[in-house]
Structure 1
């Protein structure tokens, strides 16, 4: 298996164990690929759930630009729900898992078809 495949399996395990969600592996693979090389960088591959600046960047660059959602308060509410579901105390929130959960939360799976 490639390094990316190993990471996708790691992300799937996180979804099963920490979120209690059986992942759609095809969508998880596409979201992971969409993250680009950031998944290989230790700092960039994770999300700091308490960093307001980072959460705003996710809102602007992922939710609004990638998923095409209009700016509203519900976007930050969705981010907070995903962070809560993933576990606030969990220090290693993988970016690909957060993006996958946001895609599912907002029903935007078609973006990755």
Structure 2
């Protein structure tokens, strides 16, 4: 299943152009099978999602607790294995920041 197909299960109107741009930006990470998934059982990884993606890439300045809540909400939306691009897309959509990727 492509990244776009996975994302569209949770965001039916997901933009193919935005997903394509995300695939380009995260191409190196996506080459590693382990890095393609976000481990919601690893608090250190979730902190990296908060710091590097939500704060760093999206520029969100909310409190850590608020961002952690948004990350948890996305995790609850996506059962089973959580594809990194799906988590990132849903977080970007949550914060109205798809424009960071051209959307």
TM-score, structure 2 as length reference: 0.87
Describe the shift of the 1:36–1:20 C-alpha distance in structure 2 as closer, same or farther (beyond 3 A).
Answer: closer
- Residue equivalent to 1:25: 16
Over the residues paired in the alignment, what is the CA RMSD in angstroms? 1.6
Q: Kindly provide the CA deviation profile for residues 12-66 of structure 1, in whole angstroms up to 9, marking residues without a partner as x.
A: 222234x263321111111222213111111111111121110000000001110
- Residue equivalent to 2:69: 77
CA–CA separation in structure 1 for the residues paired with 2:95 and 2:8: 20
Describe the shift of the 1:84–1:68 C-alpha distance in structure 2 as closer, same or farther (beyond 3 A).
Answer: same
Equivalent residue for 1:37, pick from 11, 28, 33? 28
Q: Which runs of 4+ in 1 moved over 2 A?
A: 19-22
Report if the CA contact (8 A) 2:7-2:89 is conserved: no
Aligned residues: 101
Report if the CA contact (8 A) 1:15-1:23 is conserved: yes
Q: Which runs of 5+ in 2 are unaligned?
A: none
TM-score, structure 1 as length reference: 0.80
Q: Which runs of 5+ in 1 are unaligned?
A: 1-8
Higher relative contact order structure (alpha carbons within 8 Å, sequence separation ≥ 6)? 2
